[in-house]
Amino acid sequence: MFKSRAFQMDGDHADVSFHAPDGWPETPWRSLKTAVCRIGDPGLGPLVCLVRFSRRDDEELDWKHTVDPMHYHGTDQFRLEVDGSWVTTRHAMHGGHFGYQESGRVYQEHPGADDDHSWLILVYGDKRGEPATLTLAADREALAAGGNTDIGGAGVAATDYPHPAGPKGIPAIATTLGSVDGGHRWGSFDDASGWDRLPGGAAMSVGVLGDREGGPVVCLLRTETAGVVAPAATYGTDCFIAVRRGTCTIGASTYDVGDNRVQAEHTPSPEIVAGDGGAELMVVFGDRRGVAIGDAPDWLAHVQRVIADLCGTLATA
């Protein structure tokens, strides 16, 4: 299921770009815009949120108490800093850095101080756990008076929380980079030494998060050469594709850094071909149960085995 107020399907896919935020919904701040879409299972699928910040000399944002007060969510999260800089739980992220975060972890985030912009992609693993719970009463009062309404669930009582496990959810992250440490697993495209090697030569890192049955899969792909990065395939779930570095073509469309595509479920997805110099890509499969339909080529069969192994570690945890 695909649903978004920021961009719409055009045939079998939808395009959205950090370069063209004019159609994105307004926020209370001129320097900050967000675009959100739902993919995967209608009940427990992920939310993908694009956050675009451009620093303005005439606007000073109170990130600590108004834009992003101390809070936690009832679902696991994944972040990719596409370009610029960002700080999450005091961890500095720059272009190509990413991180997994367990549900129920109290945190704040904000743009980095050493850059004038940030392009961030945030994946909430289970939409039922997206509403936030603020930890400080003063921040809840400020939010009620006109703060960041996008932070969602500040006013949601624990007994009414949409996730069946309550406002802290159930952490369920497994990655090919290893287990979480202190609630997080950080990584970078610049350090792909421990990544898997796919048929065709691209390096791959995979993670699962959110609901243990129907949660999303994050697949990070890196190649230094031109050529096919992912073969043509039909998926039983929506896929969100983001370009972090380089260029790629998908069917008749060319995508650059900051460009993103949602491929609709049950539609033939063209092969992804990296341009000269290679590319760094993120592919989010909305539902791990629908990664492929019918016969899978060697590439996709390999990915499916990795996903099965990760889900197996969760089943025995």
Q: Say yes or no: do domains 3-160 and 174-315 share a fold.
A: yes
For 253, other C-beta atoms within 10 Å of its C-beta total 12
Write the CATH number of the domain with boundaries 3-160: 2.60.120.10
Domain residue spans of the chain: 3-160, 174-315
d(CA 60, CA 83): 21
Tens digit of each residue's pLDDT (9 = 90 or more) over 26-78: 899 999 999 999 999 999 999 999 999 999 999 999 999 888 999 999 999 99
Is the pLDDT score of 257 beyond 60? Answer: yes
- Which residue is it, tokens 């997080």? 184
Among 15-29, 74-88, 142-156, 270-284, whose mean pLDDT is lowest? 142-156
Give yes or no for a contact between 209 and 78, defined as CB atoms under 8 angstroms apart.
yes
Measured CA to CA, the distance from residue 192 to residue 86 in angstroms comes to 21
Q: What is the pLDDT of residues 114-173, one digit of tens each?
A: 889 999 999 999 999 999 998 888 877 766 665 444 444 444 555 689 999 999 999 999
Give the integer Cα–Cα distance in Å for 89 and 110.
9
Residue 208: pLDDT over 90: yes
Tokens standing for residue 35 = 């675009």
Q: Is the pLDDT of residue 175 over 80?
A: yes
Q: Report CA 189 to chain centroid distance, whole Å.
A: 15
pLDDT of residue 153: 43
Among 21-25, 184-188, 307-311, the range scoring the smallest mean pLDDT is 21-25
- Residue of 124, 75, 125, 121 whose CA lies nearest to 98: 121
Burial class (CB in 10 A: 0-12, 13-18, 19+), 98: buried
3-state class (DSSP) for residue 144: helix
Cβ neighbours of residue 177 closer than 8 Å, sequence gap 6 or more: 185, 187, 194, 205, 207
Going by C-alpha positions, the residue among 299, 307, 309 that lies closest to residue 223 is: 299
Confidence of residue 294 (pLDDT cuts 50, 70, 90): low
Phi and psi torsions of 35, nearest 5°: -130, 130
The structural architecture, per CATH, of the domain 174-315 is Sandwich (2.60)
Six-digit token string for 220: 């990070």
